[in-house]
Structure 1
Amino acid sequence: MRIGCFRYDTTRQLFEDTAVETAATLPEIFERAIRGELDVAELGLTFYLRMLEEGTPLVALPIFPNRVFRHSCVFVNTRSGITGPGELTGRTIGEFGTYGQDSGVWAKGVLMDEHGFEPEKNRWVIGGLERPAEPFGFIPHPHPGAVDVTTAGAGKTLSGMLDNGEIDVLFSANVPQCVLDGSPNVARLFPDFRERERDYHRRTGIFPIMHTVVVRRDLLRDDPGLARRVYTMFETAKDTAAERYRRARRLYQVPTMVPWMNALVDDTLDEFGDDWWPYGIAANRATLETYLRYHHEQGLSSRLWRVEEIFAPELLGT
């Protein structure tokens, strides 16, 4: 089988034990999966749901190699006058590749639930983050008719547009280079995102899921045990990574270069428990149902999907 995913802690063991392919960017993996060039692949949840509405030959397994809290992913131009989430109305907002990438779905959903954010009251600009790029050409681009969505101009990048004030806000899975360079023109909407994300998790139990793993439907049909084997393979790789962190507690996490990593791992175990990155349906149902609700509320799904409809039936008991 041709397997494609990004290299994370959660997948590192696969690259050591199996012939796994990767790419420089995640959208490259997603595109290859959707075009049928991979048998098993990591795929963003919104990419999967959009294709599911089109009748995709792919089936998701409850494997989640990429999860990120997203209060930190909203950046503002400091000259825009935005000092909090209540001041996002009537703004021009950038988003990478498509209206409603996974990080944007989560960020918009949290802002809608907790701060009354209304996406339709803003102008949305889709483009490349650090290089000029057209919207992704390998997925549909649904959005409500009331939402104003345009593309960035020729030669423009969202990072540059945010830095020079052409857009007021950016929802971005990656930290823009202007932020990494210390531009005084850009700041996070929530500078205290760490405290907010911890509070959000304590109140909701949600650890946002960005990506799943998909398998070609015909392969699952021809090999009834394949879904379970792929699930076990990815879960074992993830558990191996978690065990490395647990063992390294004895050594103050010296295998890493990050000071106080040992304290962060201790805090994570206190906050989340021993399995802080679970796979399967049961441990992730609330998170998945919240994402499916956000996806529908934001006009990216024509109906509200149920968890049981989007994952391989043989793994619904996980």
Structure 2
Amino acid sequence: MSKLRLTLACWEYDRTRALADGSVQPEGIDLNYINLHVEETFFRMLRHREFGAAEMSLSSYCVSLMREEPAFIAIPVFPSRFFRHSCIFVSAKSGIREPRDLIGKRVGVPEYQMTAPVWIRGILEHEYGVKHTSVQYCTGGEEQPGRDEKLKLNLPPEVRLRRIGPQQTLAQMIADGEIDAMHTARIPSTFLSRPGTVRRLFENYVEVERDYYRRTKIFPIMHTVVIRRDLYREHPWVAQSLAKAFAQAQRKVYENLYNTAALTTMLPWQVAHVEEARRELGEDWWAYGFAANRHVLDAFLDYHHEQGLSRRRLAPEELFAAETLEDFKI
């Protein structure tokens, strides 16, 4: 019996490498793994639905669920997670020293719907009292002019958004003091190329992020994996097959990272990092699956609705193929 030919677009992660090289094969699927940077994957999947399955911005996926006929269904696999306190940057000309200094300022964001800024706005609002409506958002390309929102947004009027100029970039604007701060996923190039003009709001971000996790038990989810709904309706078994394969590929990395015969990364203290991650976040520190991540998803969906990106507060169960919400037992 022939296997289903399926193209998956996903970046090159250690936790997905076994899918890319074929050492882990999803049951019943002949997988064509295309290694693309995340911005390209998201754009092509959201605008043109080019792939059978793809890594996807958690926020953009939730925005897409507000459409009359949603195009995708997700599986509870999370190839990207990131504590984002380190990704709040401020201009040296802004006078910003602490989070509440952001109130009333001009904040650059490549896209309002990006997952990283959703987490950043939620954390600033609920941890530091900086309401998401208390700043002016300036949207556009971080490094290249002309970036647009991947999906059209219908935001409430209290969210103040303006597009930057057609030749401007956020990275240059923050260094020049034309915006006061940035919420972003990528380090702006001027943080490195123009030292002293751009700095992090939280210089001690590791300490701050560790404290945040200890209090909340939240390791923020950035990306999930989606399947085109037309494909899922025709082959519903694909959801479980892919979810199982992603988990199998991830387990190989857990094992390899703690191998002391030779280092599998270029991090000199790789083994110490693994031991710290286990100590702080537990043995399964990068958990896949629904139950282990429900509290993280609940926090994110609260923020997403609160910030005007989803018309109603989505329930975590609505995000994923029903078959992936529970496992069989022997």
Q: Which TM class, normalised by the smaller chain length?
A: over 0.9
Deviations 1:97-144 (A, max 9, x none): x213100000110111111111222111111111112313x4122322
Equivalent residues in 2 for 1:8-87, closer than 5 Å: 8-17=13-22, 18-23=31-36, 25-34=37-46, 35-54=48-67, 55-87=69-101
CA displacement at 1:46 relative to structure 2: 1.1
> For residue 268 of structure 2, what is the aligned residue in structure 1?
259
Separation in 2, partners of 1:254, 1:236:
21
Gaps of 5+ in 2: 1-5, 23-30
Gaps of 5+ in 1: none
4+ runs of 1 displaced by more than 4 Å?
A: none
For 2:292, the aligned partner's letter is: A
Give 1:227's match in structure 2, choosing from 215, 234, 239: 239
Number of residue-to-residue matches in the alignment? 312
Q: Is the 8 A contact 2:119 2:220 kept in 1?
A: yes
Give 1:313's match in structure 2, choosing from 291, 298, 322: 322
> For residue 294 of structure 2, what is the aligned residue in structure 1?
285
Which deviates further from its counterpart, 168-177 or 6-15? 6-15
Which deviates further from its counterpart, 11-20 or 299-308? 11-20
Separation in 2, partners of 1:259, 1:22:
27
Separation in 2, partners of 1:238, 1:182:
38
Which deviates further from its counterpart, 261-270 or 194-203? 261-270
Separation in 2, partners of 1:95, 1:57:
26
Give 1:7's match in structure 2, choosing from 8, 12, 19: 12
Which deviates further from its counterpart, 35-44 or 177-186? 177-186
Equivalent residues in 2 for 1:181-220, closer than 5 Å: 181=193, 183-220=195-232
SS in 2 for 1:20: strand
Counting aligned pairs with the same residue, the percent is: 39
TM-score norm. by structure 2 comes to 0.91
> Could you say which structure has the higher strand fraction?
2
Task: Please provide the CA RMSD for this pair.
Answer: 1.4
For 1:173, the aligned partner's letter is: A
CA displacement at 1:182 relative to structure 2: 5.3
Separation in 2, partners of 1:62, 1:255:
27
Deviations 1:220-268 (A, max 9, x none): 2222321110101111111112211022xx24x6332223222222111
Q: Is the 8 A contact 2:171 2:188 kept in 1?
A: yes
Separation in 2, partners of 1:182, 1:16:
39
Matched, 1:94 2:108: yes
For 2:287, the aligned partner's letter is: P
Deviations 1:188-220 (A, max 9, x none): 011111001111111111100011101122222
